[in-house]
Structure 1
Amino acid sequence: MIAFLALTALVQTVFGGNLVEVLQNNGHTTLISLVQQAGLADALLAGEYTIFAPTNAAFAKLPQSTLDGLQNDTTALANILKYHVVQGSIQKADASNELQLETLAGTKIRINIYPHNNVVTVDGSMITAFDLAATNGMVHVIDTVMMPPTGNIVDLVVGNSDLSTLLSKVQSVGLAGTLQGDALTVFAPTNAAFSKLGSAALDSLNRDPQLLKEILEYHVVPHTEYSAGLYNKEHLRTMDSHNDIIKLGVSSTTGVTLNNIARVTQADISATNGVVHIIDHVLIPNRYQHSIPVGRK
């Protein structure tokens, strides 16, 4: 009996209790409340799981209407919470860049590792604390509530009416298949961004499908770059035939800018195969700056 009690004390020292107790001990009161409301507490104790746990502040960042909607729909709430849970006990040491993990919601989440600033993200949400060990799994703390993507990058473009010009041009040069590949970042110009080019430039691109394809591929990076991984003066090589570079500016006042002309107006739209950032200008590689009559009517 004494040996058993000693073993129990040792387990509680090494592990902070079961998963629910670890969440309680670390102050994740909003998550615990929602887990209980969705009827998932018992399920979390019935197996071995890894939880990517949003903080109270992460839930507070959600629009109140979104939070109210989830609380009024326990099925939707349960699906969102299951999207934060993975079977088995996964430690930080198990993570690798672009690793995808199957969640209890039946869809995958993506791990990205950015060595330059020692940041690890899951679906773009920064992991702020790792390896909180429980007797039946592991907890990693994240700073944003993850929302399951509604489809791949092409699906996102199709579903956004403000990207209809981009969609038509992607389709016209047969680029949709490429955008369904895995681990991609797309800087997606809006309809207004294309209008800024002027009619002469648009006519020039429409007459030269190969050039248009080059321009569109210049907006695609062949790995996943969420905002948390971007840094000032970073150079991102793109998928155009010359692997041309996009130059980033990152600041607390202007946000993320590209080539000193475009600005990210909506960041971190997760897709099943990467991420989309909406931008307000079309990007043109330096080599084509003089051959495309930008701004002319």
Structure 2
Amino acid sequence: MIISGFDEVVSFLNSTEANCTLFVPTNKAFEKALPEEPPMEQIRQWVWHHISPGVDPCEDQLPSWDVTLNFVAHITNSNIHATNGIIHVVDDMLSAPSPASDTLDYLSLGISTFNLGLNKTGVTNASDGILSSGGTLFAPTDSEFANLGFAANALLFSGHGEKYIEALLEYHIVANQTLFTNIYYAPGKEAEDRS
């Protein structure tokens, strides 16, 4: 068992004071992701990325079975109750969050105007640093930019409008605060359930 090599993880998972949600990859997921033995620190990071604070049953957080985590993993068995949390089995390894710019590039369909603005102004690099400790990025779609009209977009993406598009884009970044539809992670605090 991989986690047995990490005393702090075993202690955390055995504690009745720490309620958590554990995403456990299937054996096939491990075989696919770990064809050879990676360094112990990389394994430690992977293990911690599969543990989420709080108890999150699928019907509360993930109401649809058609849920993809980290763009590749699907929940194959859910809501396995434990004394200190809940377990969901996933068919692929979860990975550390990518920098915001990489995620936006991956999801570029429908937000290419927003991406263009981020790259043109350099806000992309700033957002990676700002969001590295947690944060939320609100990405307006191409149709929302189109609603501004041709003249406004022409100004925003011209040399004269660069400071305005930069300010507009920075307004869409909430640093150090992770917002979900019903959970709020404030800087350095536990999750606050808003359901």
TM bucket (normalised to shorter chain) is 0.5 to 0.7
Cα distance in 1 for residues equivalent to 2:153 and 2:34: 47
Identical-pair percentage: 21
- Match for 2:43: what amino acid? L
Of the candidates 88, 92, 107, which is equivalent to residue 160 of structure 1? 107
2:182 is the alignment partner of 1:228 = yes
Among candidates 99, 117, 139, match of residue 169 of structure 1: 117
The reply on whether 1:214 has 2:167 as its aligned counterpart is yes
Alignment of 1:136-285 (within 5 A): 140-141=85-86, 147-149=94-96, 151-162=98-109, 163-181=111-129, 182=132, 183-207=134-158, 208-222=161-175, 223-230=177-184
* Count of residue correspondences: 143
Identify the match of residue 104 of structure 1 among 43, 47, 60. 43
Note the alpha carbon deviations across 1:143-195, whole angstroms, 9 max, x for none: 79583256211001122231222111111111122111122210112223222
Question: Is the Cα contact below 8 Å between 1:173 and 1:213 reproduced in 2?
Answer: yes
| AA partner of residue 98 (structure 2) | G
Q: TM-score, normalised by structure 1?
A: 0.37
Is this contact kept in 1: 2:139–2:172, CA < 8 A?
Answer: yes
For the structure 1 residues 197 and 171, does the alpha-carbon distance in structure 2 shift closer, same or farther, using more than 3 Å as the test?
same
1-structure distance, mates of 2:100, 2:154:
26
CA gap 1:130/1:186 in 2 versus in 1, 3 angstroms: farther
TM-score if structure 2 supplies the norm length? 0.52
**SS in structure 2 opposite 1:161?**
coil
Match of 1:99 in 2: none
Q: Which runs of 5+ in 2 are unaligned?
A: 14-20, 63-78, 187-193
Aligned-residue CA RMSD (Å)? 4.4
- From 63, 71, 75, the equivalent of 2:31 is 75
Contact between 1:112 and 1:224, CA under 8 Å: does it hold in 2? Answer: no
Render the CA deviation track for 1:123-157: whole Å, top value 9, x for unaligned. Answer: xx79x99994xxxxxx5326795832562110011
Larger Rg: 1
2:9 is aligned with 1:53: no
Secondary structure in structure 2 of the residue aligned to 1:221: strand
Pick the structure with more helix per residue. Answer: 2
1:111–1:190 Cα change, 3 Å: farther
Whether the 8 Å contact between 2:137 and 2:172 is mirrored in structure 1 is yes
User: What amino acid is the match of 2:123?
Assistant: L
* Residues 206, 212 of structure 1: 8 Å contact kept: yes
- Runs of 5+ consecutive residues of structure 1 not aligned to the other structure: 1-40, 60-69, 80-86, 88-101, 114-118, 133-138, 231-235, 237-249, 252-297
